[in-house]
Amino acid sequence: MSRFYPSLPLFQRKIETFCEVRLQPALNSADYENLRSYMLGLVMRQALPPLHGGRPNWKEIGATCRLSAEGQKIARREGRHAFEAIMRWLNSGKKPKEKAAAQPVPAAAKAPVRPAATVTPLRGSMPANGNNRSVEPRPTAPIFVRVPVNTQQKRVARG
């Protein structure tokens, strides 16, 4: 199924005008005509230009359009805007992907939550961490609490 792109004739005319205003004065006639035909062909086919890293691939464009070395430098500087406009125009016609809404799972379909099994250690067995040392409580350090400044004692130890 073909995609719908808004105002094909209008955009084609914009590319033609761009080529006349920006490319024709800068390029020789053969390079101008080749590049102009190539851009209009992309618009008519509704195809992206060859890309390299998300940007137009100028080596491939230059080879396809048979641009001279000087013409390719000028086309890269001046024609970049037209190729970016073509890419934006093509991407604007795409429908945004709709995110699938998370469907709530009915309560009957959910697995019941079961409590974890508790294991009581046998007398004389090793602790769960595999350490043979007995577990002794560590001494706690006193906790200091701030007291208002106007009193004599600034810290009070609690233990």
Note down the domain range covering 47: 8-92
CA distances from 97 to 37, 102, 110 (A): 33, 15, 30
Residue 18 belongs to some domain of the structure: yes
Cβ atoms within 10 Å of 159's Cβ, excluding its own: 7
- Block means of pLDDT (10 residues each) for the chain, length 159 residues? 68 93 93 94 92 91 93 92 91 64 62 62 58 67 66 56
Q: What is the pLDDT of residue 47?
A: 92
Residue 133 belongs to some domain of the structure: no
Residue 25 belongs to some domain of the structure: yes
Q: Where does residue 79 rank: exposed (0-12), middle (13-18), buried (19+ CB within 10 A)?
A: buried
Residue 52 belongs to some domain of the structure: yes
Q: Is 72:26 a contact under the CB 8 Å cutoff?
A: no
Q: What is the pLDDT of residue 156?
A: 57
Residue 132 belongs to some domain of the structure: no
Any residues with CB less than 8 A from the CB of 82 and at least 6 apart, and which?
Answer: 15, 18, 19, 22, 23, 39
Domain count, the chain: 1
Q: What is the pLDDT of residue 7?
A: 82
Q: What is the pLDDT of residue 1?
A: 46
Q: What is the pLDDT of residue 70?
A: 94
CA distance 94 to 78: 27
Residue 1 belongs to some domain of the structure: no
Residue 56 belongs to some domain of the structure: yes
Query: Per the confidence metrics, is the pTM higher than 0.85?
Result: no
Residue 35 belongs to some domain of the structure: yes
CA distance 33 to 41: 12
For every residue of 101-140, DSSP letters joined together read PPPPPPTTTSPPP-PPPP-PPPTTPPPTT---SPP-PPPP
CA distance 66 to 15: 20
